[in-house]
Amino acid sequence: MPVPKAEFETFHPATFYRPDELLELDQMYTVYEIARLLQELDPDAELDPESEGVLLDWAIPWIMVNADELLVAEPRADDEPGFYGLAEE
């Protein structure tokens, strides 16, 4: 249900990092690492499952919106996630 703006004390602009501002050209990242980086956390930061789920809710659409600037690598093993990185120009 919508909430009146008057119920909030502070507002922030809805700005997101561009891929080249967030990722290093020579590195590949899991969606979990990207989720942390989008929140200015260390890519290896320990998170409880609920918090990680919330961060993934932000990271997955970010990856989809920025897909033209990214490339994907297959997992190296069956128990490993895929990796994303900057597409080279």
Judge whether 22 lies within some domain. Answer: no
pLDDT score, position 6: 96
Judge whether 6 lies within some domain. Answer: no
Judge whether 51 lies within some domain. Answer: yes
Number of domains the chain contains: 1
Judge whether 61 lies within some domain. Answer: yes
pTM for this model (two decimals)? 0.84
User: Residue 45's pLDDT band (boundaries 50, 70, 90)?
Assistant: very high
Judge whether 19 lies within some domain. Answer: no
Judge whether 63 lies within some domain. Answer: yes
Which one, of 51, 55, 61, 64, lies nearest residue 33 by Cα?
Answer: 55
Domain interval for residue 51: 32-89
